Amino acid sequence: MDKIDFVLPWVDGSDSAWIKQRNEYLGIKNDQTQDSRFRDWENLQYWFRGVEKFAPWVNHIYFVTWGHIPSWLNTDHPKLTVVKHEDYIPKQYLPTFSSHPIELNMHRIRGLSEQFVYFNDDTFIINKMEPEDFFRNGLPRDYCIETALVQDDINNPFACILMNNAALVNMHYSKREVIGRNWKKWFHPAYGKMVFRNMLMLPYREFSSFKYSHISSSFLKSTFEEVWREEGEVLDRVCRTRFRSPGDVNQYVMKYWQYMEGKYEPQSPKIGKFFTIGLHDRQIHDVLRNQKCKILCINDGKGAIIMNKIAEFIKINRKAAGLTQEEFAMRSGLGLRFVRELEQGKETVRMDKVNVALSMFDMEAVPGRKEDE
C-alpha cells in the first residue's frame, strides 16, 4: 500500500498571544476575537481518537499550528509531527491569519507523502475507513459534481473565492475537452441522482463551480507543485494577503485542477455529511449515534448569528413583560447564570434550556425545517 498522510491545521482561538498578534494586524485594541472559525470547542481530541480507532493504518499525521499545542497531545508519538507555520510557509507570507496560505503551501511540509488527506478541525472520522476510501489506483477519491454557484450574503467572500477557483481552471482547460476525456468519471453511477447536475450543466461553455464538500480532501502533492508552476503569481498574491479576501483562491482550486486532469477516482457523496451547530443538532446526534456515514463535519459557521438573534428576542420580550433577569430566571425555572449567558448570545448553552426560555413566549428553536403537525 502506498503511504497516505493526514494533514490537520488547527488554531486555538483562545490563545492570548495569537489574538494579540491578529488584532494588531487588524488594528483592533481589545483582546477578543468574535470569529466563530477560530473558536475552540475543546473537541480536537475526538479527531485524534477517530483516526486511532477507524483509520489506524495512516502513515503519518502532520499537525499544523501557529504555535499552540494542546496540553493533552502526545507530541512524542512516532506517527505525529507538529508543524509550525514558519516550518513550511515561506517567511514573506507570515504571519498569516487566513487559512489560504496555510492550505496552498501544504506541499512544502517536510516529509509529506505524495498522497495525503487534508482535514479541517471540525471534520471527524466516525466509522471504519480503509485507504481505498481516500485513494484508489494511486488517485484521490472524490466526487466531481458541477453545480451553479449561488450566494445569499453579500458580505461573505466565500462564493467569490469559489468563483475564482473556477475562473482559474477555465483559463487553462476546455470544458468540452475535459469531459470528453473523462466522460466515464463525469457521469459515474457512484454520484447517484447528483449525476443529473453534470448533465444539466452541459450546455454551459465553461465551468461554474463544483459541489462544495466541507469534509476531508484527498490530494496529490504533485498537483500543488504543478499549480504553483502554472499560476505561481496568483498563488503568491493570495498568500501575501494576511486575511481572507474576495480576490483569493483556496485549496479547492487544487481539487478542481485534479478534476481537469482526470486525476481522481469517483466516489459517492454519501461518504460524509455536513451539519451546522444550532441548525442541525438533532441530525448531528442521530448521525453520531448510528454512524450513518464515515466522515462528519460539525460546522460552527452560523451559530453566532442564530444565538444572537435568540438572545435579542429573549431580551426584548423579557423587558416588554416587565421582568428582570432574576424574575425571568425564577419564573422559567432556569438558573440566573444561564439567563445571563443566553442573553449574551453564548453559543455553548444547552438547546433544551434555550427552548425552555423561548417557551415563555410560546416559541421554539427547531434545527432544520419543522414539519407541520
Per-residue confidence (pLDDT) for residue 373, from 0 to 100: 34
Q: Say how far residue 202 (Cα) sits from the centre of its chain.
A: 29
pLDDT band of residue 3 (cuts 50, 70, 90) is very high
Per-position DSSP letters for 79-99, written without gaps between them: TEEEEEHHHHS-GGG-S--SH
pLDDT tens track for 264-295: 999 999 999 998 877 788 899 999 999 999 99
- Name residues whose C-beta falls within 8 Å of residue 130's C-beta, 6 or more positions apart in sequence: 57
Helix axes of 158-170 and 252-261: crossing angle, nearest 10 degrees? 30
Alpha-helical regions (H) of 248-350 = 252-261, 281-290, 303-320, 325-332, 336-343
Distance of CA 220 to CAs 97, 207, 240, 292, 360, Å? 25, 22, 24, 28, 55
User: Which candidate, 291, 255, 250, 301, places its Cα nearest to that of 270?
Assistant: 291
Average pLDDT for 154-183: 93
- How deeply is 227 buried, as exposed, middle or buried, from its count of CB atoms within 10 A (0-12, 13-18, 19+)? buried
Strand residues in 127-242 grouped as ranges (E): 135-136, 139-142, 146-147, 209-210, 217-220
- Extract the C-alpha cell encoding 276: 451546522
pTM attached to this predicted model: 0.81
Is 249 in contact with 164 (CB distance < 8 Å)?
Answer: yes
Q: Angle at Cα 319 formed by Cα 313 and Cα 325, nearest 5°? A: 95
**Between residues 149 and 303, the one the model is more confident about:** 149
pLDDT tens track for 15-63: 889 999 999 998 887 665 555 455 556 789 999 999 999 999 999 999 9
Per-residue confidence (pLDDT) for residue 104, from 0 to 100: 98
The position carrying cell 427547531 is 366
Per-residue confidence (pLDDT) for residue 41, from 0 to 100: 63
Q: Angle at Cα 211 formed by Cα 102 and Cα 141, nearest 5°? A: 70
Per-residue confidence (pLDDT) for residue 368, from 0 to 100: 44
Is 115 in contact with 4 (CB distance < 8 Å)?
Answer: yes
**Between residues 362 and 153, the one the model is more confident about:** 362
Per-residue confidence (pLDDT) for residue 142, from 0 to 100: 98
d(CA 128, CA 269): 17
The position carrying cell 452560523 is 302
Does the pLDDT of residue 364 top 80, yes or no?
no
Average pLDDT for 322-337: 91
pLDDT band of residue 341 (cuts 50, 70, 90) is confident
Q: What structural domains and CATH numbers belong to the chain?
A: 4-299 (3.90.550), 303-359 (1.10.260.40)
Does the pLDDT of residue 151 top 50, yes or no?
yes
pLDDT tens track for 202-260: 999 999 999 987 899 999 999 999 999 999 999 999 999 999 999 999 999 999 999 99
Report the amino acid identity of residue 365.
A
Per-residue confidence (pLDDT) for residue 370, from 0 to 100: 38
Per-residue confidence (pLDDT) for residue 372, from 0 to 100: 37
pLDDT band of residue 301 (cuts 50, 70, 90) is low
**Between residues 187 and 37, the one the model is more confident about:** 187
Q: Are strands 139-142 and 265-266 parallel, antiparallel or unpaired?
A: parallel
d(CA 370, CA 348): 22
